[in-house]
Amino acid sequence: MGIAHAGSSAIVVDDTDGQVITAVNPDEAAHPASLAKMMTLYLTFQAVQNGTLKMDQELPVSSWAASKAPTKLDLRNGQTISVEDCVLGMITKSANDAATVVAEGMGGTESHFVEMMNAQAQLLGMSSTRFANASGLPDPEDTTTARDMSKLAMALYHDFPQYSHYFSTKEFMFRGRLVRGHNNLMDKYPGMDGLKTGYTNAAGFNLASTAVKDGRRLFSVVLGGRTASTRDRLMARLLDDGFENQETPAELVAQVGAAPVVAKGRRSAAKATAVADATPSSRRHHRRSKADAVAARSTATCSKKKAVTCPAPKATARKVASVGSSPDK
């Protein structure tokens, strides 16, 4: 597999026939960030379906799970938490401690669970993916592509339709407090009912989405967004175009590319994450503005053909030298 870059890539797939409507850098190596939790959720649903886990089953919280970096549910060593609350915590708050609890509950250790994740990835045809942990917290070995993430997103809905409603959860009550989700686009895009957000400094802002219009379902993935708002606007455009059976111009994907926020003297990773999550979504995401159109024309360097490889900007085409301990969203 190639070196993961903090560039930008996107794919849109029609669930009816598997047709790829738009694909820009779909096989470019990237870091999944919290989209890795979709595989943790896949294995969780598989275990519940097989009867080896129950949604109301209480799992122990280890010191290893409790020590995970934010975002988290602030679980403490020695506590227990239900499988269902772990599922809801992963989907809404992208809780890294909850993901680790499930990993240890199923695999004994997180490292063994990661072996299970990678084995399942191969079974699903995710040939360019390697998971390094259950949460997607920064690791230079954590690698995927937009195409592989679309395969995983579709598998979650096809293999476990009885649990797909969890992905539309926007908030839930946990031990007397309201836990709100990060997927702001679900509040704004009609028909969107999942799936998962992701963010680390190295990965940029990632999003896997699915939406239904007139009985037709699309799946779309964006990796390497510069900000949450530009990522969300691109996702909305991809879905809009997809429902109209149109390709989204490659240059629109290119211009949302991210560079890692790791330079000394800049705001901390924790602050950058908090600011990103607090950024209000822009008004209706459906159509690009005049400024977007001007920017697209001025930065158009790519062909519009399917599966085109779009050159990343100089600031984003470099190897990610360090992923540090940036939080995962």
Which of the four pLDDT bands, split at 50, 70 and 90, describes residue 222? very high
Least confident span in 106-110, 214-218, 227-231, 294-298: 294-298
The torsion angles phi and psi of 24, rounded to 5 degrees, stand at -125, 120
CA distance 134 to 251: 33
Return mean pLDDT, the chain.
83
**Residue 51 CB contacts under 8 Å (≥ 6 apart), including other chains:** none
Which of the four pLDDT bands, split at 50, 70 and 90, describes residue 6? low
CA distance 80 to 59: 5
Per-residue model confidence as pLDDT tens digits over 136-184: 999 999 999 999 999 999 999 999 999 999 999 999 999 999 999 889 9
Return the pLDDT at 303.
37
Return the pLDDT at 329.
58
Q: What is the token pair recorded at 254?
A: 């290119």
More confident residue, 34 or 320: 34
Return the pLDDT at 257.
82
Per-residue model confidence as pLDDT tens digits over 111-148: 999 999 999 999 999 999 999 999 999 999 999 999 99
Return the pLDDT at 282.
33
Per-residue model confidence as pLDDT tens digits over 230-275: 999 999 999 999 999 999 999 999 988 855 443 333 333 333 333 2
- Cβ–Cβ under 8 Å, residues 202 and 4: yes
Return the pLDDT at 90.
97
Q: Answer yes or no: 37 catalytic.
A: yes
Residue of 8, 34, 128, 135 with catalytic role: 34
Q: Answer yes or no: 94 catalytic.
A: yes
Residue of 9, 62, 94, 326 with catalytic role: 94
Residue 192 pLDDT greater than 90, yes or no = yes
DSSP string, 148-200: HHHHHHHHHHHH-GGGGGGGG--EEEETTEEEEPS-GGGGTSTTEEEEEEEEE
Section 182-205 average pLDDT: 93
SS3 content of the chain, % helix, strand, coil (to 5): 40, 20, 45
Which of the four pLDDT bands, split at 50, 70 and 90, describes residue 3? low
Return the pLDDT at 182.
83
